[in-house]
Each structure stands twice: as structure tokens, then as C-alpha cells.
Structure 1
């Protein structure tokens, strides 16, 4: 079976103008040939900011670029026809299609209504401040342009648990909406940051409302009928009760496909929190390995002072490899974003080798690392910054190496703080490789591959080391790596 490799085919600053779906379709064949098996697409439905929406300000889940809402028919990425063509092109290229899902909140309400709210302490949402009061809130979503097509469901104050802005009296903050759900308390089985992390932004969805629960299950079935769908990436799951996704994932697997791939964004480096969450969702999904991504960022900034033997310490992939989606960067960690934890360009090839060529985890490649990206945005200091994310040297070759050589059992040689290696021993049908990387000066290691490799010639698939390496009569081979680099030694053809 081909090693699965996921590509996040967008970033926070992906250019607008409805061009992305066309680019997906155009690149589908080349992605499949390279070794990409799954493509994660951005949110495909209408956001509150219309054609400028990255997609996480979810407005109408049923508008896939079909209705004139929020000032546009198409989304930032294109119209519904373009989405369908992009997804079909991926499928035709034998690439699975993974869709982004934002259930936590809605934004851009169509109407206001009177609500009763209770202000809470933003640093401890379990702590109430003052008395409940009546105010006007943007909590009614009627989607007039869609006019009931696909779903007649109207979202109102009974569908939301919290809000961050009210009028008459005007106030901002975090407000618990008081209705018949939860006895004035937030949802449970959410992350414990800020006491209770139910509230994130906008009109926060109330999952205890059974009508909401059934509508979101219906949407999952409906969406999979509209466009090719092989799985979902679930947004902001720290803020959504675990019981909801335990039920929702089971429901879509039962009604759509038992093979659906599901990965959740539960961005926490604490293994205890991740294991607890996986237990609550009956281990039905995978999680992004936030701890490993942070380690990569730290290692890239520390240079030769970082002990490479510890690179996987505290990571999800080391503790629960079958539940880990490993990554070097994503749209939240890229420069100028909320979880910024950039991996320096010199270290990025090493990090990618550590997720693409190992036996454990499912790797996710980030669009700018494969194709590059340039953008301008304001930093936290209010100043404008021009960001240039360069193409990561050798990344296409590393993806190809995963496809061709990341086979068989693995042996780690983590015996030096500045130079580590691992061996994929191959199978009877497919060759393996020896991966060596260094964050200090040039290094070499003698690897015992076994007598069946005696006399075989190896070369660096990445081309960083120009010489060949020949195994001796007992199958020992000495491989080299340049300083601050990575080499992938594979059997030489011919």
C-alpha cells in the first residue's frame, strides 16, 4: 500500500479572486505522480467576509459558492462548479479529497434579536460578572439569498451558547447566552484553558440543542453527496464538546463511508490533554502533532545547541503514532499568525525528512513549503511586514523518496546530539533507505544493514553528497551528511 501523504493546499494568505480551485485541478495529476495521496482543501463554504474570507468566519455551510451572499457568489477560492471540478480532478488522479469543517461558531448574522446574557471573566469563563441583562445580539441566520434551498433551518439565539458583542446596551467581552440549555453554564468536555474554552469567537454554537445537533449531522451527509469527499479536517475542536464529534464522526462514517479519514485540530502540546481527548472521542480520529511542530521550531532556532536525540520527546507521534498527523507548518503557525512557530528554512528539510521518511505518523506538507508564498500583513506591533516563505529545498524529492523508499521496519541510530540517523530496511518488494541528518558540522555513520546488502552501492537521493557509498562484505555501509543538512541514501540502480 502506498504511504499516505497529506498536502494542505492553501495558507492563510492564499490569493483571492477565485483561482484556487482551478489551481487544484491543474496540479492534481502532478501531485499524484509526486506521491501526494491526500489533499486538504480550505473551507469551501461562504464566510462572513465574503470573497475575502479564508473560511474560518463560517456563515453558511450550505453555500459552496452558489448564492449571492456577503457581496459575492464565489468564495475566495472559486465557485461551486470550480470546487466540484477540483475535487473530481483529484479523485481522477487517485488523490483523496479532505475538506475543512468549521462547526464551532457562525459569523455575519442576517438579523438581530433580544437575548438574555451573562458577562463572564475572559480569563476564567466559569466566573460570572454582575447580573444577567437583556441586550440585542447578532444571532439570527436566515440566509435569505439561499431561500431554503438544501436546508430550511433557521439559526437563532437558541442555537448559540455565547457571543462577544451586544447592543442596547452596547458592550464587548465574553457573554454567556442564557437559554434553556446548560442552566446558564458552558458546554463541558471542552479544553480547560481560561477555565472553560467553549467560547472562541462570533456566535458560539450550542451543541446541546438537539435541532442543531441533527442539522450538523444532516450537513455531513448532504456535503458528501455534493462533492467528492474522502474525509474531514475538524477545526477548533478544543472549543467543541468531545461527545459531539464522538457521535458526529461515527454518524458520517456509518452513513457516508467507513473509510472516511478524519483529523482534528486540537492544538495542544500537552500529551495528557491529547490522550484524554482521544479517549473521549473513542479514538475515532487523528490529531495534529502540535508538540512535534513546536520542537521543530525550537530546534531550528537553537541550531547546533539543540540535542537532536530529543527531537521526538513529548510528541504525539512517539506516544500514539497511529493517531498522529505530523507537520512542519500550517496556516496558523506561519509568520504573522496566532500560533506563529516558524521553522527556519535551513532546518525545514531536516524536519520534513523526520516526518516523511519514518514509519510512524501520517505527514502533512504545507503549500508554501512546496510552492513558496509572499504576502504582507501587520504584526502585533501594528507595523507592516513583508513575508517571503521560500520553497523548501529538496521537498519534492523527499515526497518522492517517501513514495519509493520509506518501506519496511525502522531502526533508529540516535547516538549523537548533533547527528542522528534511521534506517528503513525495505521489504521483499520495495527498497528501503538510510536517512542521516546533522545540525552541527559534517558527520558520518557506519550502518549495519545485514549480509544481504553486502557489496551494494548507495547514493544520496537528494544529491547533497556526490560520492557513492559501498557496503562491505558484511553489509556495513558508511554514509555521510553535510553540516546542517540531511541526506537520504538509497540503493543505486544499475
Structure 2
């Protein structure tokens, strides 16, 4: 019984029995000492993770907390979680539309208190739970931009001047002017405040347009409102179109009405379109433009690249051009927040001076190929990270976030978007670990090998240690898995990626994080692995570099293309056991460098090198390493005779190898040559028979029922009590005991570990007193479930708790 076990507080809201806590301490200590050997991390989210948008309830942090036992049992040593701060798109935001850095789901902003992932308390609880199981937690950090919305509009004279200069600037002051990237047309609202009654002639001009293309590529949507009328957008079947003559030289169209839209074209380039409106009373004139293009079969007039610039370059009234004076450009850069009340939470506001372009020398850069682009407006409002105020604020926030939540490291989002000098300064300013070392950092630099290496070495030269994701290797592994074996040459894998590069752009294994899929590629079907995920994971879990497992691959969650949700992909459920065995092998056998045996030492038959990749990896000081075989032939088991110990490698001559998955063995001859093989479209791992331990390759399963106490308590009310379930684990029926000090609205919901609601146990008002709530689990599969209790009192207090429950069949 629970009363017979000694409990103590690990962190607020989290209790563990003493013997379990000692086990967790031992586990954490072992994890730290052996991290270099089995440093497997998981990206613990994917695009559009489940959320209850109707109730504004995010439960991803709770979902992850419930996963901690099985992740630890599987050998996961760290998880990377999404950006924890409130996003501009509220409960829908995946965190990358960052809005308020200090709102972790505890302030009512953007239509919600909680983030898509949950509340601040649930975030803290998740991190504490992971730590209790020896798992580090890395936060996704967005330093490139801040998003704003309609409630963040402000006049922006810098953007107005930039548009009227048509993005032509002399940033160096040397008299040489260049064309830079236009400010997005649809992110500007043009206004003349308190315009007096009378006629206004509004002239629309385009710049940086595709002049050699048909006129259908140079379209725009024009919206004008001068009396507060509701928005009345066009449709392909019912549209107001610009008509000729309309060239701005006294020829104009009468605009069809306030709140309406006109679709028009700049044809030819240099054309001016003019529109007349008439105000009968004083009112603010609002003008919005959006770049459009024609598509056919069926016809539509759709948004296009908003760098195709359109603006009201002249507005005439009573013989005076108001564009240089009264006309204002409003942007989503006036960002203010509710008052932050927590310790260390700054109360800042942002305005246009913090975002590019900031003055008449500043500019917006082009996307480029894969170079660093600190002035480029890719997402939201592009922060001017050269500004000391911006730098200091972002560093202060990072320090607060680390100290408040307890993150062990960071994934830096889109580091191409700001200068590496600032990245290094930010990393160097973060709180150190208890031993004085820097926390873990990995950067998202989506580019080629040379650009990634340059960024990593530049940051290193400035005293900071940052790994990089191996995007080149991801591309190669995707092709290997997807292509037909007859069209793919396995020797293309020999020097794929950053660690194995032989063209002068290599990084060491401790500077690289490898992966098969992530949240970005996982939402775009043209970047997916469609099959043979096990082959790709066999490579990264065998090779040098820190491997990352994608959450949907581990849990076999169907992914949807974000452009066309009908396009789906799903890794097989069997992949999970492959991953666990590969992690076990990495942890217990591997730790040294890697040599490709199918590349050196005259592999035979040479004709099969196109289908078979063979590599040997060094050991970890306890065991001697292993050999990996990948076979991409569609139908045949294939292998190679290879030299098992090329120059400089320890000899295994005269020994036997065993494939732990099948029990097959092969002999290494006295000259060191050995024949190793793998099944079609598959992999095999071969270890020394004398070092083989069957227990290390047994199926690893998690035991979530170990954590039977409440995982999280937002606030404990007087005499509020929730007991159960009893029994737990249970075989079909169990019940909860609930005591309420007063009448309250009670909702008790059961979720599976994918975050899907599977049962509503109660959802009604309950009187004060004692209640027994039964759960008949008929129709549900055996497994682990999360039960969420949500109690709301008449005066608005809310109490939320969770329990992990195991259903046995």
C-alpha cells in the first residue's frame, strides 16, 4: 500500500518513492558517464501535433511526460522539444511563429492561455519527469524573428521609405546602389488617417516584377475601404476587374465601392493603374495590396511571391499628392504584451526599429542558396540582430528560460538568418552546467557541406561549441531508401554526409547530429522516406555522429503532407523494435571511428558493391565494435567478401561473427577476409561471437505503470482529493475516487499515448462531496493510457491533474 512507502518531493508537483528515486539517480549517473557511447536523442514532436483547439487545451507536454519511462527504457538519452513560448497564432502555433518569449502558456494572449503544447506548469512537469528518468531536454530556440498580427499594427516610416525607394539601397555609403529584396506586398497596410471629404485618385505602381513573363504573372488584388464597410473579396466567378483605358494620365477606373476588391495587372511593366474614390465624410482611407497570378483549368487569381512589389505611389486630392506626407505604411511590428509578473520576466515592447529594414541604409537580402543571410525576411518580422538592444534582450531571455525551466541544451532554429558572431555570443552567455561545461547546442543550418562546416568552425573560433544537423546525409539516405535498388549505387553512401566527406568539408562525429526525418521534412511529401526506414536508421545508429530518432517513426504515427493532407506516409510499427535493438547495439558495442569495408581492400564480388555497403565501427572499450551490412537489392540476399581489418584496424582473424537478429554465423579467415550479408532491402549487424550477449538484443519494452503517482498538479485546493484508479494495472474495469470541497464542473478524459481522446468518463457538474467514477475499458486495446482530470469551480479556479493507467489484456 502507498502509506507503507516513504515518499519525498523531487520537484514541486512530482513525488516518487525513495527506492525509485535512488534508481533514477543511478540511471542518470550512468547516462552521463556513458553519453558518448549511446548518445541517442529523439525529436519529440512533429508538425501539427494533436491539440484540443475548441477547449484551447494543449496536452503535448503531458503526452511527453507520460512517455518518459518507455523512452528511458529504449535508451533515449535526450529529447528535443518544440519552441516553448507563445506563438502569434495562439493555440494553433507550432512555436515557430514566436510572439511573447516570456509567455510559456501562463498568460492570456493571442486568444489562449496555453500554448499548443500545454501550460507552463505542464512544461515544467515534463522537464522534471524527463530528468527523473535520466533524459535531457533540449529546447528549440528561435532568434531570427518575431511574428505579429492585426493587434500589433503600427506606422512604419522605415518600411514606407524602403518601398518608395523600390528596395534600391546603398548600404555601404559608397555611392553604389543595388536592388535588394522588396518588403512583402501583403504585409503592409497603407493608410491616410482622417481623410477629409472629396475625391481621391490613387495610383498603383509595380516594381521588381517578372516583366518577360505573360501579364498573368503580374497581377494584384487591391482593397480600399473608406467608410468601415465589411470586406467583400472577389471570387473567380464574381470579380471586379481593372479595365482600360487606365494608365494614370487622367484615365482612371472608379473604384466599385468601399470594402470591395479589384483585380488588376501591371501591363506592360512600367504601367500605372489609377482608381478614383469619393469620401462624403471624413474617414481613414485604408489600402491593401497583394501580389497575384493567374492559374487555369479552372481559372483562379491566386497569391504569389509577395516580393513582387505593388504600392500606392501617388494619391492626389485637391491638386496635392498626399503620398509623401499623409500616407502611412502600417506593419505588424508594434508588439506589446500583457504585464509579465513572474520572477525575471521582462516587460519589453518591440517596434519597427528592432526589425529590418531600420533606416535608409538598411535593406532586406535575397534568400540566396545556402549562405548566411542575416537581413533576409523569411519569417515574420526579421530581427535586427546587429542591434545591441536586440542582442541583449535575446540573451537575457535565453538565460531566464534556462534557469526557469531547466533545459539542458538548445536546438537553434534557422541559424542562416543571423550572423554567426551573435550565435556564438548567445551560446557563450547561457548558464553553464553544474560542472562548468557548456550546455549542448545543435544548429539547423539547411545547406551544403561547405556552408555548414564554415558556420560550425566560425562559431567554434569564437569560443562556442555548436553541432550541426547533417542535412546532406539526410538527402542521401532518403534517396537510398526511396530509389529502386537497380538505380541506386550503394557506393554513393561511402562519403555521404559531413563526417565521411572527403572533399575538405568534413566535421568530426562530435560536431554532427544525424537524422532521417524532422518536423520540416516530415510535413513535405517530396522530402519523405517512403520505405526502408530501418536501413536509414541502421546507418545513423551505427555510424559516427549523434543520431536523432523522429517521434512519428518510433511510434508509427501517420504523417500528412501540409499542402495536400490526402498524401500520407506511415512507418511500420515494427520499426520501433528495430530502433531499440540498434540503440542497444550502439550503447553496448560501438564508440570508435568507422571504415567502409566495401570501399577498401578489394571487396568481392566487385559487381555487388553497387548493392551492398559494408562498414566496421570501432568499439567502446568494453566490446570491440561491429560490422554493418546494408543491401538495397529488391529481391536477393546479397553480401561481400571484405577485409575485416584494413590497415590500422585490430585483427579479428580466426574469429567468428554472429548476426544477433538471426543467429547466423560467419568465419573470419586467417588473412582477415570474411563474407557478410544482409537480406534484400535490409540490414544486418555482425558482432564477434565471443562478445555476443543475447540479453542485450532482447526486445526492450517500457513500463509506464512505474509512474503511478500524479504527474502534475497545477494547484491543490483545500480538501480536494483524487484517488485511484484502483486497481492499476487493471483488466477491464477500474474506478477513481474524487472528493470535492464545493460544487464544480468536472471533466475526466482518457487519452492514448498518441494524445487521442479515447473515452470521456465524466463531463458535468458534480456536487460537493465524495464521488466514485467507474471506467469500463471494454473495446480498448491493452496498453498505457493518460487520464486527465479538469475541475473548474464557480469562481473560476481550475485544477488539473493526470494519472498514468495500464490496461492489461
TM-score by length of 1: 0.85
Structure 1 residue aligned with 2:138:
98
Structure having the higher helix fraction is 1
2:529 corresponds to which residue? 343
Q: Which runs of 5+ in 1 are unaligned?
A: 162-176
Deviates more, 1:190-199 or 1:441-450: 190-199
Structure with the greater alpha carbon radius of gyration: 2
Deviation of 1:134 after TM superposition, in Å, equals 3.8
2:516 to 328, 335, 354: 328
Q: 1:7 is matched with which residue?
A: 42
Q: In 2, Cα distance between the equivalents of 1:75 and 1:289?
A: 30
Alignment partners' CA distance in 1, 2:132 and 2:672: 43
- Please list the CA deviations of residues 57-88 of structure 1 after superposition, one character each: whole Å capped at 9, or x if unmatched: 10111111111111221111111111111111
Distance 1:411 1:75 in 2: 46
1:262 lines up with 2:423 in the alignment: no
Q: Match for residue 566 of structure 2? A: 385
The answer to whether 1:126 aligns with 2:166 is: no
Q: Kindly state the Cα deviation for residue 478 of structure 1 after the two structures are TM-superposed.
A: 3.1
Q: 2:616 aligns with which of 423, 428, 434?
A: 423
1:12–1:125: structure 2 CA closer, same or farther, 3 Å change rule?
Answer: farther
- Give the secondary structure class of the aligned counterpart of 1:421: strand
Who is 2:786 aligned against? none
Would you say 1:34 and 2:88 are equivalent positions?
no
Aligned residue number for residue 794 of structure 2: none
Number of aligned pairs? Answer: 466
Which residue matches 1:157? 352
> Once the 2 structures are TM-superposed, how far is the Cα of residue 223 of structure 1 from its aligned partner?
0.6
Q: Secondary structure at the match of 1:232?
A: strand
Q: 2-side partners of 1:422 and 1:8: how far apart?
A: 26
Q: SS at 1:303's partner residue? A: coil
Most deviating of 478-487 and 385-394: 385-394
Q: 1:292 to 1:364 in 2, by over 3 A?
A: same
CA distance in 2, matches of 1:263, 1:369: 21
Three-state SS of the structure 1 residue aligned to 2:547 is strand
Q: Which runs of 5+ in 2 are unaligned?
A: 1-33, 53-57, 169-177, 183-206, 208-310, 314-323, 501-505, 600-608, 695-809
Q: Shift in Å at residue 184 of structure 1?
A: 2.1
Partner Cα distance (2:642, 2:370) in 1:
47
Call closer, same or farther: CA 1:275–1:472 in 2, change over 3 Å.
closer
How far the C-alpha of 1:36 sits from its partner, in A, is: 1.4
| Aligned mates of 1:314, 1:452 — CA distance in 2 | 27
Counterpart CA distance in 2 for 1:39 and 1:195 is 29
CA contact (8 A) 2:370 2:451 kept: no
1:442 aligns with 2:477: no
TM value normalised by structure 2: 0.53
Question: In the TM superposition, what is the alpha-carbon distance from 1:301 to its structure 2 partner?
Answer: 2.8
- Counterpart in the other structure of 2:361: 183
Which residue number in structure 1 is paired with residue 470 of structure 2? 289
Distance 2:540 2:627 in 1: 14
The 5 A counterparts of 1:70-85 are: 70-85=110-125
The aligned runs of 1:223-242 (5 Å cut-off) are 223-242=401-420
Cα deviation per residue 1:107-157 (whole Å; 9 max; x = unaligned)? 1344321112113679x9725659898411121121125368711111111
The 3 A distance-change label for structure 1 pair 193 and 243 is closer
Where 2:554 maps in the other structure, the secondary structure is helix
Q: Which position in structure 2 is the counterpart of 1:274?
A: 452
SS at match of 2:528: coil
Q: Deviations over 1:420-446 (max 9, x none)?
A: 111224254234221111111311234
RMSD of aligned residue pairs (Cα, Å): 3.1
Separation in structure 2 between the aligned mates of residue 188 and residue 282 of structure 1, nearest angstrom = 27
